[in-house]
Amino acid sequence: MKRNYFLSIGTIITIVLLIGCNTPRTRVESLKDPSYNGKKFKRILVIGAFEKIDKMKTFETAFVRKCKRQDIFALSNYKTLPPLRDYSDSEKIEVYKKHNFEGYIIISPKGVNTVTYQLPTYTSSTTKIKSGKLLTETETVGGEQSQIIISADYQCELFDFNTGHIIWKCDATTNVKNAKDWTDVASNLSFNVLKKLGEDDLIDFKPFSFNKERLPGETNIEYNKRLDKIKEAEEKLEETE
């Protein structure tokens, strides 16, 4: 999706600052096979269907880390079955059985959403004396176009290893704050995809929580201060997720 805007320099700077400062946010919509009545997944192979190796590693690693925080055994495909050649079915099955995988999830990029901006043009003039005459030369500069990536779209598909059938799919859109470093995007996407899998009753999702109960001997002032710090920590945790 592309949108064209003609923006002032001040507006462009504002957009860049907002994108640079905002923490990625992910929106997820999912579908689940209603006929699936199997157990919740606890052992998953993570496959990043990316053309570039660095992004493949970034997204697979991020998803594996988030799985471990949910007590889910997960391995990256680039370490398990690196896409260097075509593997036979027997080779794949041997690896899957070795690690007792119950399913595998494929993360696929579906494109980016951008804002196109155009710098304003302005005219500069210089005055010269040539052959005893006063001459004014003008030059128009600016007007270049560029693009800012504001979000990226992904599709995730979960397959049951025993049947080979797809049992869950989601479309996700994640805000992009730095198109040169996709680590935060991968982390936020992974967390929210796992959260949606938990909502769809396919994994046991355990959100992190702080102890908000009053501690023995804690005064009202101390208790309220601790609650304020917990609130700040929860907001910070949500940003990093």
Q: Helical H runs in the chain?
A: 9-21, 53-69, 77-80, 89-99, 183-199, 220-240
For residues 199 and 223, membership in a common domain is answered with: no
Q: How many domains does the chain have?
A: 2
On whether both 95 and 148 belong to a single domain, the answer is yes
- Give the distance from CA 208 to its chain's centroid: 19
- Residue 182 shares a structural domain with residue 231: no
Give helix then strand counts, H and E, for the chain.
6, 9
Q: Is the pTM of this model over 0.95?
A: no
Same-domain pairing of 30 and 105: yes
User: In this structure, what are the phi and psi dihedrals at residue 85, rounded to the nearest 5 degrees?
Assistant: -160, 175
Dist CA 152 CA 30 (whole Å): 17
Q: What is the pLDDT of residue 19?
A: 44
Measured in Å, how far apart are the chain's first and last C-alpha atoms? 26
Would you give the DSSP letter of residue 180?
Answer: T
- Are 219 and 126 members of one domain? no
Residue 239 lies in domain = 210-241
Burial 69-101 (b: 16+ CB within 10 A, else e): ebebbbbbbbebbeeeeeeeeeeeeebbeeeeb
Same domain, 163 and 176: yes
Do 156 and 216 share a domain, yes or no? Answer: no
> Which CATH number is 112's domain given?
3.40.50
Q: Are residues 149 and 235 in the same domain?
A: no
In a structure prediction context, what are the per-residue pLDDT tens digits for the chain, which is 241 residues long? 544 444 444 544 454 444 444 556 899 999 999 999 888 999 999 999 999 999 999 999 999 999 999 999 999 999 999 989 999 989 988 988 899 999 999 999 999 998 887 777 777 777 777 776 777 777 777 667 777 888 999 999 999 998 989 999 999 999 988 778 899 999 999 999 999 999 999 999 987 666 677 778 888 888 888 888 877 766 655 544 4
Looking at the fold, whether 97 and 197 belong to one and the same domain comes out as yes
Cα distance between residue 90 and residue 74, in whole Å? 21
- 114 plus 230 within the same structural domain: no
Q: Are residues 215 and 121 in the same domain?
A: no
139, containing H or E segment = strand 133-142
121 and 240, same structural domain?
A: no
